[in-house]
Amino acid sequence: MDVQPTTFYEIMSPRCTALISTRDKNGVPDAAPYSFITPVSANPPMVLISSAPTRRTLANIRETGEFVINMVPESMLDKMMACAKPCPKDKNKIAAVGLTEKKSNQVKAPSIQECVAWIECRLEFEKEAGDHILVVARVLNAACKAEIIKGDQFEPACAKPVMHIRGKRFAVAERVVVSKD
Ligand SMILES: Cc1cc2nc3c(=O)[nH]c(=O)nc-3n(C[C@H](O)[C@H](O)[C@H](O)COP(=O)(O)O)c2cc1C
């Protein structure tokens, strides 16, 4: 069956989903869920997020050049969704939804304590793409809760990362399969 080309991303799912945390030039923190996210380079480590032009997140990244990708466990889904609701520009959205800021290592943008992993990023460049702006950034620091690593491997059954399908629907990645070769 055919699907609407404008919602092709639903069948490219579940997609990596995270809270992007930023600060504006006055230090006011913000966070918003993003699911148009992908790694683009391993060495140097670089990542891409795709943003609608109207987002406060994008304005903050333009002002400060920094953001943090906070990986969201299933237990935080409702608070993540609260971060998608409109919020006055000068209000601390992270505190307003009941989440906790934690100091990042390499950037002034805050990390979010309740998340399970934190990727600290510095803007490299942006490029317009359709109705979104591609934001490509260098990864300056990456850290995660010890409990989501088993042996030396990421364990999705412990992290329970939420992955967006579309609208209010998500998958939780929990099962690992290993290829024969
Ligand atoms: C699950 C989910 C994923 C989203 N992904 C994106 C995205 O990749 N890019 C984007 O620009 N907006 C995305 N949004 C919308 C923003 O999160 C939403 O507009 C938010 O209010 C923006 O907040 P801000 O203005 O504080 O940046 C998504 C929303 C949800 C609920």
Give the residue extent of every domain in the chain. 5-172
- At 27-50, the pLDDT tens digits run 999 999 999 999 999 999 999 999
* Positions of E strands within the chain: 15-16, 18-23, 29-34, 37-41, 46-51, 66-71, 101-102, 111-112, 117-129, 132-144, 149-150, 153-154, 162-166, 169-172
Rounded-to-integer distance, Cα 104 and Cα 118, Å: 9
**Quick check: CB of 72 below 6 Å from ligand 1?**
no
Cβ-proximal residues to 1 (8 Å cutoff; 6+ apart), any chain: none
Q: How many CA atoms lie within 13 A of 111 on its CB side?
A: 23
Q: What is the pLDDT of residues 129-175, one digit of tens each?
A: 999 999 999 999 999 999 999 999 999 999 999 999 999 999 998 89
Q: Is the CB of 111 under 6 A from ligand 1?
A: no
CA distance 33 to 81: 7
Q: Give 146 or 89, the one with higher predicted confidence.
A: 146
Task: Please provide the average confidence, as pLDDT, over all residues in the chain.
Answer: 97
Dig out the tokens for 91 from the structure: 């209000």
Q: Into which CATH architecture does domain 5-172 fall? A: Roll (2.30)
Closest CA to 165 of 1, 17, 4: 17
* Residue 110 pLDDT: 98
- Whether ligand 1 lies within 6 angstroms of the CB of 57 is answered as yes
**Separation of CA 150 and ligand 1 centre (Å):** 31
> What pLDDT is stored for residue 58 in this prediction?
98
CB of 55 closer than 6 A to ligand 1?
yes
Residue 139, strand partner residues: 121
